[in-house]
Structure 1
Amino acid sequence: MALLLALGAMGTAYGAWVDDIYVTGSLSTGDISAGLTCGTCWEEPDTPDTDIDCAGGSMTLTIDVTSALEDVDYYCNFIVSNAAGSLPIKIQSVTLTPLGTYTGVSAVLTDDLEVGDVIDPGISATGKVHISLTSGEQVDNNLAFTLSVSVERWNE
């Protein structure tokens, strides 16, 4: 009987003992740090009376062609970098938008950098814009375009 009372008292004491346990923590999957910068711009053939320039930062650039000529091709490289990120990035979109209504102008992105391309951490990728006059219709031969790039985190 004493044993039964002792076990009962021990069970009651054990049942009355309550302790709250809290578990906290954090989870980090990494970060992306994409950047867009101007690369080299040039015209072919090299012509002294005309020029192509690139300026800007963040994820939007402005490309200006001054005194565009019909028989000249204008090129401008742009660089998408993932220098400070710890995760790969995937190109979601690359958009070239004219800042005016131009007739007889061709402005295209070459296939050097395409939607869906993946850029690993610490790596950069280069794309290229090609601008040309397709006919002599363009009255104002000063042309301007914005180039914007959108990226997303990429998981295998």
Structure 2
Amino acid sequence: MKNRTHAPVDFDTSVASTITSHDAGYIEKDLEQIVGLQTDAPLKRAIIPFGGIRMVESSCHAYNRELDPELKKIFTEYRKTHNQGVFDVYTPDILKCRKSGILTGLPDAYGRGRIIGDYRRVALYGIEFLRKDKFAQFTSLQEKTGKR
């Protein structure tokens, strides 16, 4: 469920998402076959600052939320992000080529889905359903384009 602006119902602005960062959340615990959701509550999204803290902060501001100052401090003063690590290996010449557009495909940042994760579909629908649905979409597209 999202509000009228399609913003997330909730997201955690104080915990960096990892495989063990949140307690298991459930919709109907006794009926569920998959243990836990992406976060500790249904429809709550997690933040993933390992690709870059600025994008997380921008996402928070887009939804009128504030990133936890302590988390921001950790990811700006103490922990190198993946993005910083990537840029650290670029030589000055590579950076100039990238900036001028001679080289493409060298990202400044990562897509929104990697920063505010949306992995609830697995918990809600299950892998088998999603796999079959994706195959049906592929088959339908092949039929529409005459490539089947």
Query: Which TM-score applies when normalising by structure 1?
Result: 0.22
Flag the structure with higher helix content. Answer: 2
Larger radius of gyration: 1
Q: Which protein has the bigger strand share? A: 1
Q: RCO greater where, 1 or 2, for CA within 8 Å and sep 6 or more?
A: 1
Normalised by the length of structure 2, the TM-score is 0.23
